[in-house]
Amino acid sequence: MTAESTAAASRSGLVGKLSTLDRFLPVWIIAAMAAGLGLGRALPGLNDVLSKVEIGGVSLPIGLGLLVMMYPVLAKVRYDRLDTVTGDRRLMITSLVLNWVAGPALMFALAWTFLPDLPEYRTGLIIVGLARCIAMVIIWNDLACGDREAAAVLVALNSVFQVLAFGLLGWFYLDILPGWLGLRTDDLHFSVADIVINVLVFLGVPLLAGYLTRRMGEKVKGRAWYETAFLPKIGPIALYGLLFTIVILFALQGNTITNRPADVARIALPLLAYFAVMWGGSFAIGRGIGLPYDRTATLAFTASGNNFELAIAVAIATFGVTSGQALSGVVGPLIEVPVLVALVYVSLAWRKKFA
């Protein structure tokens, strides 16, 4: 058997292990985007209706979608193995540097490079770069066969730093650094309370629910039942929550996206460059410092993903729902979702090289 045929057989075997929902995930995501855009066009008053009920500045339907999306993945985490993750200093230190030094700096540079004449969009992208991912990254990591326990720890770590560092970094990148470089500054005012609420709700609630579910399930039924009977039943719920969230998110900004395609394209360019550099660089660093595949994938996805829900909430609360800053936040998942789904497949292809 040739090397090419062996690789093809390995790929087909990997794909064959995926459920129909997982195997055609890009198709479902594209369909969810289209459905959301269509819903937003068909119901122009939907934004006003949904904005009346919010959690920390985020629409309640989006909040429910995030909770449903995160719970099954966090219920899969083996919490008795978390000490093996926190003991890996290479992973922890590298993740902190990538997320809170490299990521915001890269987005700042790309925003000023690609959007020097569009301050609203530029500010929105910088805010996106400051909002490190604490939600959808868990889905991408799980699909790429990353380390669930490591993802849970890194997401929790990002959440703590999000509360402590978001305001300080926002002040630095939107006011101090542009002034040092002789660039025009933009004022940013935001509520730290909203950030705390977002972290507590969108991470704390599903994390607590997942932990209690595993503890009670294993105690009552045993680990074998929990792993082989319970988890397979709740697993698809995470992807249903993801698709639901995408539909609602794109429905809320459907008119803006479809009416301003040129602006969307200009915002998309720095985002594409950001995801390529952050994911590829993080994956290369993971290999360079000797991490195994599962933790390298976790490092790459946690470093390249962003918390667009938080970025959108801050932009809307500060600049308004129709602002250019809010549009930059909305374009984020439009680019991130298909790109990171594609990177899941790239990651799985690289998995064979590690093996």
For the segment 251-282, what is each residue's pLDDT rounded down to a tens digit?
A: 877 777 777 788 889 999 999 999 999 999 99
Residues 114, 269 contacting (CB under 8 angstroms): yes
For the segment 289-331, what is each residue's pLDDT rounded down to a tens digit?
A: 999 999 999 999 999 988 877 787 777 767 766 678 888 887 8
The chain-wide mean pLDDT, for the chain, equals: 82
The pLDDT assigned to 104 comes to: 96
Q: Which stretch of 166-175, 201-210, 308-317 has the lowest confidence by average pLDDT?
A: 308-317
Q: Which two tokens stand for residue 175?
A: 């006011």
Which sequence spans correspond to the domains of the chain?
78-206+232-238+255-350
The pLDDT assigned to 343 comes to: 92
Q: Is the pLDDT of residue 235 over 70?
A: yes
The one-character DSSP state at 307 is -
The pLDDT assigned to 280 comes to: 95
Q: Is the pLDDT of residue 233 over 70?
A: yes
The pLDDT assigned to 140 comes to: 87
Residues 271, 331 contacting (CB under 8 angstroms): yes
Burial of 41 per CB tally in 10 Å (0-12, 13-18, 19+):
middle
- Band (pLDDT 50/70/90 cuts) for residue 242 is confident
Three-state SS for 7? helix
Helix (H) or strand (E) holding 59: strand 58-59
The pLDDT assigned to 10 comes to: 44
For the segment 119-145, what is each residue's pLDDT rounded down to a tens digit?
A: 889 999 999 999 888 767 888 898 899
Choose the most confident range, by mean pLDDT, from 228-242, 266-280, 333-347.
Answer: 266-280
Give the CATH fold of the 78-206+232-238+255-350 domain. Na+/H+ antiporter like fold (1.20.1530)
The pLDDT of 177-194, averaged and rounded, is: 73
- Between 285 and 47, the more confident residue is 285
- Give residue 184's region: left, alpha or beta (phi > 0; psi -120 to 50): beta
How far apart are alpha carbons 345 and 32 in whole angstroms?
20
> What are the helix and strand counts (H, E) for the chain?
21, 2
